Structure 1
Amino acid sequence: MRFLLHVVPVLALLLTSAPTSARSDSAIFGTVIDVVTREPIGDVVISATSPSLQKPEEVTVTDAQGNFRIPRLPPGVYALRFEHEHQYPYKLEDLQLREGRSLRTHVELAPADSRAVMICY
């Protein structure tokens, strides 16, 4: 019994001071459309990179409506790269993601065979 009186407080202290997971409920989501046709673009590969990530990058793909979501990200500064075989690649940098918050992006990609300009807001 005396042993438990000494061990329980130590265990409680260790559990409360243990580092939390690097993942959180923060997310980056958005839509990708064609700047010329104004239509959503499916199958755009989006790569998120950040010094906050435990692995080199998080990757997702847009659905048929051009929507994407990268969930459970740790807070930090992110860069997103958008790639599609028929569009010019685009990189969006210096996105500040805060704990418990989400960032919404809207990206317009130019077709690879045009001179249109990529737009992001």
Structure 2
Amino acid sequence: HWVSGWTDWNLVLDTRGGPNWADNFVDSPIIVNASVQEFYKQPMYYALGHFSKALPRGSVRIYSQLEQPSFQAAKNMTATKLDYAAFKTPDSSLVVVVLNRGNDKFALKIKDASSTGSIQKIIKERSITTLMWHA
């Protein structure tokens, strides 16, 4: 993937999803309704802000792996709507951002390969959760 940075194509658009040179009217983090002098912060505005607060410049994405729990331990919890990414910050802190798109909470256990400890957290339904710790 080799991504070194990412910026949304358009951070602010009008209520039609423009203007843009390609005439492919799309969504954006902020929508401006100039006729009534209002603007609307969309959900992706808050998602971008969530990552920006937890990941300072110089943070790098690191390898992480999701292991499915056993059926008995999982009960009705499923990881199919769970997305996540792990990062290392310049001060060597570790950050895991978890997005639960599902309508059920999820019991998460994070094992840090560099230590013997683990973190257990219930990830609420339809939420973004950030976990941070010093390695």
TM-score interval, normalised by the smaller of the two chains: 0.3 to 0.5
- Give the greater-gyration-radius structure (CA): 1
Where is the strand percentage greater, Structure 1 or Structure 2? 1
